[in-house]
Amino acid sequence: MGKLALFAVLAAALLLAACGGDEEEQKATATPGAATVATATPSGGQVTTGGEDYKIGALFAISGFNSPLGTPERDTAKMLEDEINAKGGVNGHKIKLVVYDTESDETKAVTLAKKLIEQDKVLAIIGPSSTGESMAIVDTVEKEKVPLLSCAASIKIVQPVKPYVFKTPQSDVLAVNEIYDFMKGKGITKVALLTASGGYGVTGKEALEAGAKEKGMDIVAAESFGDKDTDMTAQLTKIKGTSAQAVICWGTNPGPAIIAKNMKQLGVTIPLYNSHGIANQTFIDLAGDAANGVIFPAGKLLVWQGLPDSDPQKAVLKAYAESFQAKYSRAADTFGGHAYDAVSMLVKALEQAGADKAKIRDALEGITGFVGTGGVFNMSATDHNGLAKGAFVMVVIKDGKWTLAE
């Protein structure tokens, strides 16, 4: 009997130890090349919630040449996860972000999208960061009927309309119209194009060519560059010998910053315009003094402090900018804003639809009058971006600072 009693005591102790281990916070481990999955527990204390977590996938280019886009997107999404869960989650459910790094690679983006859907069982996916990656996973999310909120710009992501695909950045077509209208106000009618060879640059070039016909602009030269190229003097030398009154560069950093520096080195004095793909501090840091004078369309986040109080976006922009600065000790940027809008609209859809992918899709398509960092969104069955003229302002860099262009 003594041995039996001792055995019972030991068994009970082992059972208690096992139960204690179950109470520890569990963290998912990412596969090689993937970012660590964010935990759902907010810093600063526990919040009582009911029901299972709402699991949301996120694909961002945290490394690779598009990391200036994906890093602020990742950081913004995780910041919102903490804020939302600290307030009790969504209808009593915590949200749990499952974040993977695409490494700026389209093939990896497809693999990770399938992993999010098949293994992680997410309700929706935010991202990817680039046009190429977003276009690469469209067929996957459409086949599996999982809502996607892309953080990339090309209008081709959402046109023609695909039932489960949405995006938050302003489209390249809107950007082209802003640039051409601004140029015509300056008497510029002849332009040279220098566009990236990747997806964003290809669709941007198409929009620039189509817009030129509509706006009466003359494209006198069209050159391209690779996303990983480190010198564009050959292309710029060709452009220098044309009648172009301005250069329009279409790409994301570091390419556009290299072009700005190369133009200064070659003594090319005509104005340099860029797409909204340079709307972050990285461009100024990489281009240095050559960034001064560069003109481009951007969402209002970069210049929110100069907006009138009557602007409907100012309060949202202020809240996001100040929260991001306080958490990360650096300024928020346009690309993080794309993730801010995606998470915020998805939360709004979850509040209405719960954990039903088809109903989440319907709720996203029904969003109207939603004030975000990128503009006021009005989604519909024929428009899965929901932004119109007025979502952009023209910005010029002066003394290394963003300022409203006149």
pLDDT at 51: 82
- Is the per-residue pLDDT at 366 higher than 90? yes
Q: How confident is the model at residue 50 (pLDDT cuts 50, 70, 90)?
A: low
Rounded (5°) CA angle 146-35-131: 50
- Is the per-residue pLDDT at 29 higher than 90? no
- Is the per-residue pLDDT at 26 higher than 90? no
10 Å Cβ neighbour count for 295? Answer: 19
- Is the per-residue pLDDT at 12 higher than 80? no
Domain with CATH 3.40.50.2300 in the chain: 54-170+316-377, 173-298
Average pLDDT over residues 103-125: 98
Tell me the pairing of strands 190-196 and 165-167: unpaired
173-298, superfamily in CATH? Response regulator (3.40.50.2300)
* Sequence letter at residue 264: K
- Is the per-residue pLDDT at 41 higher than 70? no
pTM of the model: 0.84
Residues sharing a CB contact under 8 Å with residue 101, sequence separation 6 or more, in sequence order: 30, 33, 34, 35, 60, 61, 62, 63, 70
Tokens of 285: 């840091």
Neighbour-count burial for 150-177, b at 16+ CB within 10 Å, e otherwise: bbbbbbbbbeeeeebbbbbbbbbbbbbb
Q: In angstroms, what CA-CA distances link 93 with 53, 127, 130, 259? A: 5, 22, 30, 48
54-170+316-377, superfamily in CATH? Response regulator (3.40.50.2300)
